[in-house]
Structure 1
Amino acid sequence: MTFLLWLSQTAPVVWARESDSVWGYPTILFLHTFGLSLLVGFTAALDCRVLGFAEHLPLAPLERFFRFIWIGFWINAISGVALLIMTPTKLFNPAFAWKMAFIGLGVVNTLYLRRLAFRNPSSTIGVTATAKALAATSLVVWGGAITAGRLMAYVGGFR
């Protein structure tokens, strides 16, 4: 924590946090939101297809979505670290712990879903019940991560 507090007081971080420039905090927050939209948007589309929506669409081409899912994840990870460096006290916010737990579950769930649903995506057998359960879990878990992230601004006394 001492290192994060020191880092939060360095000139570039103070500028990003306190500047009126659009290139500081607003840009980092935009990147975090953009990464989230890639990550959750493509994941939700994939989950919905696995759950049976748009069954006329073959599953195999949707495997390309994972490239955008992981790009979104890394944009979020990098911008999230930048946001945390700006306000390291967020580490002690209980909503932050929930957010990290949901993200961890979401990543593991996404890895399992890819392995299961795309093991043989051209199969005519259809999507397994386990893959559907993972897709439904994914929607709940990523929704939980978004909710916990928003709650960070309102709970824990660290506004």
Structure 2
Amino acid sequence: MASVLTGLEQSGLAIWIRESGVLYGYPLILFLHTLGLSTLVGLNWAIDLRLLGVGSRIPLAPLKKLFTLMWAGFALNFLTGSLLFIADATKHASNPAFTVKLLAVATAGVILATIQRRVFDGGRSGTVLAATSIACWLVALSAGRLMAYVAEFLL
């Protein structure tokens, strides 16, 4: 596994992302990652909060249109997250905060798909799913932010 991670990290693309020093390299990828994350999580929380009763006068059905934007944000984050990962693969792969982040994001993605299918297409209640979704995103955001600091203590 270490050789695969080292290989990723030593690829031309990873070196360019990490070392080019141009604005359209690492800074742009990080900006797009933040943009995708804020779109995904912001809209997801709007739906989650509505399912929890906040703004209960707002009809739920029109919010279904937001799923296209949320999935676009998810796709953008998958792409940019992969690029950020390869730039420092060995460090990220050994960081427990990164593992926690990935598990929380994956769980939140499954919950998002479940809300779309069961609540919007199936007419079921989604209060437990919404509360769990918010918790998963809080864990993912916190773990993502802590990645830089946890690595210093463990590596």
* Alignment partner, residue 79 of structure 1: 80
Match of residue 114 from structure 2: 112
Tell me which residue corresponds to 1:150.
Answer: 145
The alpha carbon displacement at 1:119 in A equals: 2.9
Q: Tell whether 2:62 aligns with 1:61.
A: yes
Note if contact 2:104-2:139 (Cα within 8 Å) is conserved in structure 1.
yes
Residue 38 of structure 1, CA deviation: 1.1
Task: Report the equivalent of 1:33.
Answer: 34
The residue number in structure 2 matching 1:50 is 51
Alignment-mate amino acid for residue 43 of structure 1:
N
Gaps of 5+ in 1: 122-126
Q: Which amino acid aligns with 1:139?
A: I
**Matched residue of 1:152: which SS?**
helix
Q: State the partner residue of 1:124.
A: none
Deviation at 1:15, TM superposition (A): 2.1
SS in 1 for 2:150: coil
Report which stretch shifted further, 27-36 or 50-59.
Answer: 50-59
In 1: Cα distance, 2:116 partner to 2:7 partner = 40
Shift of 1:120: 5.1
Q: How well do the aligned residues superpose, as a CA RMSD in angstroms? A: 1.7
Verify the 8 A CA contact 2:33 2:77 in the aligned structure 1: yes
| Identity score, percent | 42
2:129 corresponds to: 134
Q: Which has the higher helix share?
A: 2
The count of aligned residue pairs is 152
Q: Where do 5+ consecutive residues of structure 2 fail to align?
A: none
Letter in 2 for 1:144: V
* SS of the residue 2:148 aligns to: coil
1: CA distance between counterparts of 2:120 and 2:13? Answer: 44
